[in-house]
Chains A and B, each alone.
Chain A
């Protein structure tokens, strides 16, 4: 399995399988995961149903007993306690959708420290990339990474 026999065919097949998996995931996820745009576009279908919005949901504005959220450019008001919320917060929310164009809050979680998480993850990724490039170099002869002579044990 790990030999050089038919190496480029093996690479091609692995890429092909991964691409097919990605396409399958993209297609199927549309019928499994709901976003705000889908709810607003099919308001009658989602009326009275509990929906969960977790990805890239941001708070636009906050008032005493309701707040507005935005996901991928689509906005909606959510009726419910907005304690601890501030505009710009990224949240995950479980709420009941109403065809009139608002939602009733069931459960809410504020994704705190998200930007810090991204920044420190970026730093870690650069660190690992540095480790890798110190140890390996890419050669067109064989189209592969080889260990640098100074790092061989």
Chain B
């Protein structure tokens, strides 16, 4: 996985200019959801790695977002689901750019264990780009703040 700051930054850069997602907070929640649902368990307790693995697959993410949407008011449930699934989809897409010794993401789980990734960047390369993301976001927010005052 890229770190969550990278995930958040990319989702911010995607959402800020397009203003495509109405519930931006939930879009950002979706952008970190697959890792929160899996790594929060598997990092402190390694044997659970494959038990929570489905929550980092497309089907698992759809089901998880659908489940979470049922904890919001009926009137906004559909929009909540769309926001969460948009963020989570962006997360899974970004993960595909990572490189491992063998491809790491089983997109067709549970129908196939065949794994796939574009394999362009090692995870640590992505981490080293975090300061760049933060500077870009700071500049954008600063310019927006200047426009407001």
Taking beta carbons and an 8 Å cutoff, which residues of A are in contact with B?
Answer: 2-4, 7, 10-11, 14-15, 17-18, 21-26, 28-30, 32-33, 52, 54-56, 72, 92-94, 107, 109, 111-114, 116-118, 120-121, 123-125, 127-128, 131-132, 135-136, 142-147
User: What are 10 A-B contacts defined by CB distance under 8 Å?
Assistant: A2-B69, A17-B63, A18-B63, A22-B55, A25-B54, A107-B101, A117-B3, A132-B26, A144-B72, A147-B76
In the complex, A128→B76 CA distance in Å?
20
Q: Which residues of A contact B66 (CB under 8 A)?
A: 14
Q: Which residues of B contact A14 (CB under 8 A)?
A: 63, 66-67, 70
Taking beta carbons and an 8 Å cutoff, which residues of B are in contact with A?
Answer: 3-5, 7-8, 25-26, 28-29, 31-32, 35-36, 39-40, 43, 46-47, 49-55, 59-60, 63-64, 66-67, 69-74, 76-78, 81, 100-102, 109-110, 113, 122-124, 127-128, 130
B101 touches A52 (CB 8 A): yes
Q: Return the contact of B67 from the options A15, A56, A124 (Cβ within 8 A).
A: A15
A25 touches B5 (CB 8 A): no
CB distance from A29 to the nearest CB of B (A): 4
CB distance from A77 to the nearest CB of B (A): 20
In the complex, A147→B53 CA distance in Å?
31
In the complex, A138→B91 CA distance in Å?
26
Q: Return the contact of A18 from the options B4, B5, B60, B76 (Cβ within 8 A).
A: B60
Q: Return the contact of A125 from the options B36, B71, B100 (Cβ within 8 A).
A: B36
How many pairs of residues, A versus B, come closer than 8 Å at their CB atoms? 129
B113 touches A22 (CB 8 A): no
Q: Which residues of B contact A123 (CB under 8 A)?
A: 5
Query: A18-B64, A25-B50 in contact; A124/B123 too (CB < 8 A)?
Result: no
CB distance from B129 to the nearest CB of A (A): 11
CB distance from B81 to the nearest CB of A (A): 7
Q: Return the contact of A109 from the options B3, B53, B76, B122 (Cβ within 8 A).
A: B122
Q: Which residues of A contact B102 (CB under 8 A)?
A: 52, 54
B110 touches A24 (CB 8 A): yes
In the complex, A135→B3 CA distance in Å?
24
In the complex, A145→B27 CA distance in Å?
16
Q: Which residues of B contact A92 (CB under 8 A)?
A: 100-101
Q: Which residues of A contact B28 (CB under 8 A)?
A: 128, 131
CB distance from B70 to the nearest CB of A (A): 5
CB distance from A26 to the nearest CB of B (A): 4
A2 touches B50 (CB 8 A): no
